[in-house]
Structure 1
Amino acid sequence: MPRVTALLMHALPRFVEGVIAPVAVFYAALMLLGLNGALIAAVAWVYGGIFYRYLRGHPVSGMLVLAAVGVTVRAGLAAATHSAVVYFLQPTLGTLMVSLAFLASVPLGRPLAMKLARDMAPIPEAFLKHARVHQFFLRISLLWSMVLFTNVAVSLWMLFNESIGMYLWIRTGIVAGLGALGVAISVWGFRRVVRHVNREPSTAS
């Protein structure tokens, strides 16, 4: 198994690109250019990422194309209604669906956390097939279902009770805190599983 720090460093650029940067781009454009400028900047960020991959000869995933379509629709609806609330409401509802997907994957025995781990980090398949590892990912899927549901509850309350500026700053901070707690628990649990699995051959001998 690669070191946990190596796995995190592999996943960090994807997290920054997909989560942190879009919020920063939208907020900066909102302050400088207003709502319509922020919507254009958000769309340009996603399509710019696709164009950059194309120029570098990197594959453009189907998920990235879907994200581009989704942000275009969101921006169009927000521009038509002149409401930033509409723009942010749609991904919040999407987060709710992801939370439910994490939850549903647990009783089905197909933990969504394991599928995401495969996509984000080079984890050997033999390790993922271990029974203890499978149980770990079931528990982590349940954890992230709760983290994301709390994210949705906080986001909806702030979206309808605070200004967009407050929503972006405070909600992002709260969500980042919840995410950091979820990551910390996940990494701690993952380290324990790795140590247990790595000890098995020597124990058997």
Structure 2
Amino acid sequence: MNHPPIQLPRLAALARQAVPKLLEGVVAPLAVFYAALTVLGLKGALAAAVGYVYLGLIYRLVRRIRIPATMILAAIAITARAAVGFWTGSWVIYFIQPELGTICISMAFLASVRFNRPLVQKLTLDYIHLPSAVLRHERVRRFFARITLLWAFVLLANSTVSIWLALHESLGTFMLLRTSAVAVMSGLAITFSIFAFKRLLHRLHIAHA
């Protein structure tokens, strides 16, 4: 197997890209929602959460910054969630809605393994070029199948924990425990996935040097 060396982005570089997006897309919306909840009540918090997302869109339009398609989808999704929240008057319904979507995604991950088209491989190829000879290697195929299974169960576990907390805890406790649990489980899965991938490539390099 002859192919040029595969260069993975450094963890520090990945962190510099991921942390601002995490703060903007996850931490800040929750902080805005909770702060508005304590002052304005549930409906005010829903309006504040929607307003935060649309302010981000307006800011990018004014600054002529490219708006990611995922951000547009997020704006549509949070608008629909807030509308249901207004109609039902329930914060539980507001937070459970995206978890149901996450469960569907985890099922898609499982199905992709069953059909020998693991989704993690497709997502990886969006960021890292892997030669076709590498992708055909049996170790690589097994790796992507196993990592896809890992993420299917991580997503399912995150959603299960979130739904259970929403049904059994107060809003403040839910937000604290849910954010902490998701951060820990996802962080461990991300760290394991990256180091396992680097180890795989190192083994392939030794085996075919």
**TM-score, normalised via structure 1 length:** 0.85
The 5 Å alignment of 1:93-108 reads 93-108=100-115
The structure 2 residue matched to 1:82, chosen from 71, 89, 92, is 89
- Ranges in structure 1 where 5+ consecutive residues have no aligned partner: none
Q: Given residue 128 of structure 2, which amino acid in structure 1 is its aligned partner?
A: I
Cα–Cα, structure 1 residues 114 and 54, in superposed 2: closer, same or farther, change >3 Å? Answer: farther
Q: Work out whether residues 4 and 187 of structure 1, in 8 Å CA contact, stay in contact via their aligned partners in 2.
A: no
The farther-off stretch of 70-79 and 14-23 is 14-23
The question of whether the paired residues in 2 share the 8 Å contact of 1:4 and 1:191 is answered with no
Which digits, 9 at most, give the CA deviation of each residue in 1:135-188, with x for residues without a partner?
322211110111111112211211111111111111211121111221221122
Aligned: 1:38 with 2:45: yes
2:32 aligns with one of 25, 34, 41: 25
> Identity, % of aligned pairs?
44
Deviation per CA, 1:98-120, whole angstroms, max 9, x where unpaired? 1111111112222222333345x
CA contact (8 A) 1:106 1:138 kept: yes
Hey, what does 1:4 align to over in structure 2?
10
- Counterpart CA distance in 2 for 1:134 and 1:162 is 42
Compare 190-199 and 67-76 and name the one that shifted more: 190-199
Cα distance, 1:41–1:98 mapped onto 2, change above 3 Å? same
- Structure 2 stretches lacking a partner, 5+ long: 1-6
For normalisation by structure 2, the TM-score amounts to 0.83
Tell whether the 8 Å contact from 1:26 to 1:38 is kept in structure 2 after alignment: yes
- 1:71 and 2:78 correspond: yes
1: CA distance between counterparts of 2:23 and 2:142? 29
Aligned to 2:163: 156
Runs of 4+ deviating beyond 4 Å: 197-201
Instruction: Indicate the residue corresponding to 1:126 in structure 2.
Output: 131
Q: Which moved more, 1:164-173 or 1:32-41?
A: 32-41
Q: How many residues align?
A: 200
Match for residue 170 of structure 1 among 166, 174, 177: 177
